Amino acid sequence: MIMNPLTSSLAEMAFKNKRVLVTGGLGFVGSNLARRLADAGAHLMLVDSLIPDYGGNLFNLDGYEQRVTVNIADVRDEYSMDYLVQGQDLLFNLAGQTSHLDSMRDPYTDLDINVRSQLSILEACRKKNPGIKIVYASTRQFYGKPDYLPVDERHLLHPTDVNGINKMAGEWYHIVYNNVYGIRATSLRLTNTYGPRMRVKDARQTFLGIWLKQVLSGEPIVVYGDGQQLRDFNYVDDVVEALLIAALDARADGQVYNLGSAEPPISLNDLAQLLIETNTAGEYRRIPFPHDRKAIDIGDYYADCSKIRRELGWIPQVPLAEGLRRSLDYFRRHLPYYR
């Protein structure tokens, strides 16, 4: 097996005493990243608004509360961001509105968070800290319904919802500021990320979150449509690894990279069955697509992530079955904190 280049000892040397700002730091990916960086000896500032509809959860820092600094602030507040970016070596920009349905119901809020606030963050860096390195958490959503599979970075962008349009704009602001102002920035286009500390009380982050809650609560997993849609998945530890590698490698500056699985894509029916088997209990049922979801469904999707493998050496290490087992074990112990 080819191993990722960033071992624990290398991470400790690379990030020890680095000043790191993580927006969305109390959320799913942000908190997992923060724990890894704290273990590596970084000086961490986590920024999160803790707006209930989004993913921030103070319990995500359980056991690490004294090892990080938390600033409860909204990335839409440009004056706060002007102050917070000062003196930082790295910025992991993970704050965002991720719900596709919410973006259709309230497009202006999605615009503010995923576009205007991104521009404000970049302007704060340009004015107050132009030497910072930024890694931006983007999404596969703005590819829309694929023209071909697997989807590589050259695929046309034709988003199917407001969230996709706004995340696309947020990404390209980062690339423009890299190219024009020299603000080193990299964008990772995440696919379905799952694991401990994810939002499970609803489907605002990903449908797999609510599936975990359903199977652990003894409720049937609900699959929309015929269940034949194909998807790829990344366990959160692999996504954290990609973020760290992108932060360290100058070859990533100004680049966009797909994340994706090293395994074949899986249908939603087979995923539901695998989750039930891993849990040793449960059932699933298929129902017709609700109209609002069907209108923005992208059909089959799975990524070609060979570019990041080739250029940065990132290869996901956690198989889906193992990642589901770890996720179920975590939420069996801690589900009340995520309901």
Q: What is the mean pLDDT of residues 98-104?
A: 81
Indicate the SS3 state at residue 148.
coil
**pTM exceeding 0.85:** yes
pLDDT at 3: 46
pLDDT at 223: 95
Confidence bin at 7 (pLDDT 50/70/90): low
* 14/268 Cα distance (integer angstroms): 39
Average pLDDT along the chain = 93
Query: 322 or 6, which is more confident?
Result: 322
Confidence bin at 6 (pLDDT 50/70/90): low
One-character DSSP codes across 57-109:
-GGGGTTTGGGSEEEE--TT-HHHHHHHTTT-SEEEE------HHHHHH-HHH
User: Does 9 have pLDDT greater than 80?
Assistant: no
- Give the rounded distance of the alpha carbon of 49 from its chain centre: 17
Domain 8-197+233-263+303-317 falls under CATH 3.40.50.720: yes
What confidence tens digit (pLDDT) does each residue in 220-274 have?
999 999 999 999 999 999 999 999 999 999 999 999 999 999 999 999 999 999 9
Could you give the percent of the chain with pLDDT greater than 90? 82
